[in-house]
Amino acid sequence: MNRFILAVTAALCATGVARAEVTQDDITNDQTNTAQIVTNGMGQQLQRFSPLDTLNKDNVKNLVPAWAFSLGGEKQRGQETQPLIHEGIMYITGSYSRLYAIDVNTGNELWQFDARLPEGILPCCDVINRGAALYGDKIYFGTLDARIVALNAKTGDVVWNKKIAEYKEGYSYTAAPLIVNGLVVTGNSGGEFGIVGEVQARDAETGDLVWTRPVIEGHMGTYKGEESTMTGTLNATWPGDLWKTGGGATWLGGSYDAETDTLVFGTGNPAPWNSHLRNAGTPVDGNTGDNLYAASRLGINPENGEIKWHFQTTPREGWDYDGVNEVVAFTDAEGKKKFATADRNGFFYVLNREDGKFLNAWPFVKDISWASGIDENGRPIYNEENRPGDPAKAADGAKGEVVFSSPSFLGGKNWMPMAYSQKTGLFYVPSNEWGMDIWNEPISYKKGAAYLGSGFTIKPNYEDHIGSLKAIDPMTGEWKWEYKNDAPLWGGVMTTAGGLVFFGTPEGEFKALDDETGEELWSFQTGSGIVGQPVTWEQDGEQYVSIVSGWGGAVPLWGGEVAKKVNYLNQGGLVWTFKLPKQLAMAN
């Protein structure tokens, strides 16, 4: 439902100022144009780094609230969005598939769109949405009933509304879409329901499908309405017909590396979780058991959807570690162009930008138990005794051997994006130190029903902290510093040329740390837990910072013993916007 459309249209017309459309050049140069934020990740490379240095270590103590905006109503839950800012308007998505346009000067609502979801949606991990995409005169976002919607950015009117997949089968969509050369590129969610992960590209103007690329071997892609090529080789790594419900949801969305003209998408867990049902680990009739391309990073040709390369972080994955974590492009201290990704499995990987080939990996959490390390080819060195047991070998056949695995299935790092500083050359990785009791159970596929074949209980590894923000050197894997937090970290990180690292905590604190030491320099209590993604921009000569506060996400739903530790936290739904006033910018 749109509100205040006539009022905002009249106000815009009264100014006599035509709103500029977002171009591909705007998207390409988003990181360096400090007056706007038109991409998820504050730039196509997903570095979440701002070159602004007006706000710095000396004056961040003078950062003050400028305005706050309530998402309203009773539809709160987790607020994981990243704001976009263009031509004086902030755009944010909210829980239950809502989108807001806000006057960035006043915090007043200009319009609101509610997707009006049907009964029977099946989101696994809260009713969140992680952001939108701007292009031309439109704004695009996905909905929990697995649709992609294009709205007029000025009025909020629907331009087109397209179905990604069938929500009754367990599909949904929560990620920010990706814009590349006039295409809107989307993934899908639903890995707990035996769906098939896929990347789709649509004409941004019409919504017409251009290509599709399923990410599980055996499935056929399409190009301009016709079958194109098969993904992988049928039954090369999947036994029997299990590939038909193989999982691999592309639920976190992707990135675009312009220098190699490559889309990079991560893929989720193979289905079911019970790896023994997939004949995983023991080759059968030439089957490697790796279950491609689940738990992988894929390089995809944006023109036609063909897979250029793949790198699988957890072959024959059996702990729900997925492989969707964002892939950040960067140039290292020696001038070499690389990718970095911090996987849910607890290892921080560095890959070659040209072909996705493995270069190096190091642990970024303390107690990895499922593998002893990563070999020279990038494959894990498994601790086989830490694989959840096969129920078929149990006396009653109902429950396999229980093992304690670390990290937990919520990951050393889950969806929450890390940041890279061009100033320090370090990555700032929000991580969690927790493990789980996990076991396998028999399971069979039923459309629209959970397809796990596992049970679990998450437990903290330490009494004094779960959350851990780490500064990591991508040349060596060394942790330069660690900032510990009592509750799990579940929100994004941003870093700036002013030497600051911004992030929020479930306890509601929005913090700024020294990028070299991890020392806390500033904090503000937002009133609810923060699981959103901070941004910063420049306006009228002043630097602004925004964060969306609103507790929720997967932790209170799936967190086991950890959930009990955070069940006192209040839900909410507020956009907090701060600024450094000009008269205080020089104050020390």
* 382-439 confidence digits (pLDDT tens): 999 999 999 998 888 789 999 999 999 999 999 999 999 999 999 999 999 999 999 9
Tracing tokens 């950890």 back to the chain, one arrives at 562
Please tell me the predicted confidence (pLDDT) of residue 562. Answer: 87
Please tell me the predicted confidence (pLDDT) of residue 3. Answer: 44
pTM over 0.75: yes
Domain layout of the chain by residue ranges? 5-584
Across residues 568-580, what is the average pLDDT?
92
Q: What is the CATH number of domain 5-584?
A: 2.140.10.10
Specify the length of the chain in residues: 588
Q: What is the pLDDT of residues 316-331, one digit of tens each?
A: 999 999 999 999 999 9
- Residue 588's pLDDT band (cuts 50, 70, 90): low
Across residues 246-261, what is the average pLDDT?
96
- Residue 123's pLDDT band (cuts 50, 70, 90): confident
Please tell me the predicted confidence (pLDDT) of residue 76. Answer: 66
3 state DSSP class of 426: coil
Cα–Cα distance measured from residue 469 to residue 501, given in angstroms and rounded to the nearest whole number? 10
Residues that are catalytic: 320
Tracing tokens 């494959």 back to the chain, one arrives at 379
- Residue 280's pLDDT band (cuts 50, 70, 90): low
Tracing tokens 């086989």 back to the chain, one arrives at 384
Q: What residues have CB less than 8 Å from 457, skipping those under 6 apart?
A: 436, 437, 560, 561
Residue 368 clears pLDDT 70, i.e. is over it = yes
- Residue 16's pLDDT band (cuts 50, 70, 90): very low
Residue 299 clears pLDDT 50, i.e. is over it = yes
Please tell me the predicted confidence (pLDDT) of residue 286. Answer: 59
Residues forming beta bridges with residue 133, ordered by sequence position: 140
Across residues 251-273, what is the average pLDDT?
96
> What is the sign of the dihedral through the CA atoms of 158, 162, 167 and 168?
positive
Residue 126 clears pLDDT 60, i.e. is over it = yes
Please tell me the predicted confidence (pLDDT) of residue 180. Answer: 97
Please tell me the predicted confidence (pLDDT) of residue 7. Answer: 43
Please tell me the predicted confidence (pLDDT) of residue 77. Answer: 85
- Residue 494's pLDDT band (cuts 50, 70, 90): very high
N- to C-terminal Cα separation, the chain: 47
Quick one: what percent of the chain has pLDDT higher than 70? 94
Contact 11, 78 (CB under 8 A): no
Across residues 6-31, what is the average pLDDT?
69
Q: What is the pLDDT of residues 499-554, one digit of tens each?
A: 999 999 999 999 999 999 999 999 999 999 999 999 999 999 999 999 999 998 88
Cα–Cα distance measured from residue 329 to residue 256, given in angstroms and rounded to the nearest whole number? 9
* Strand-strand pairing, 403-405 and 158-163: unpaired
Tokens at 585, concatenated: 């910018």
Residue 369 clears pLDDT 90, i.e. is over it = yes
C-alpha to C-alpha distances, 317 to 242, 293, 294, 444, nearest whole angstrom: 14, 11, 8, 18
Across residues 219-239, what is the average pLDDT?
96
Across residues 210-232, what is the average pLDDT?
98
Q: What is the pLDDT of residues 148-185, one digit of tens each?
A: 999 999 999 999 999 999 999 999 999 999 999 999 99
Residue 12 clears pLDDT 70, i.e. is over it = no
Q: What is the pLDDT of residues 284-295, one digit of tens each?
A: 555 678 999 999
Residue 140 clears pLDDT 70, i.e. is over it = yes
- Residue 14's pLDDT band (cuts 50, 70, 90): very low
Tokens at 368, concatenated: 């990895």
Q: What is the pLDDT of residues 61-118, one digit of tens each?
A: 999 999 999 998 666 689 999 999 999 999 999 999 999 999 999 999 999 999 999 9
User: From start to end of 88-237, where are the E strands?
Assistant: 89-94, 98-103, 109-114, 133-135, 138-143, 147-152, 158-163, 178-180, 183-186, 198-203, 209-214, 220-223, 226-230
* Strand-strand pairing, 220-223 and 226-230: antiparallel
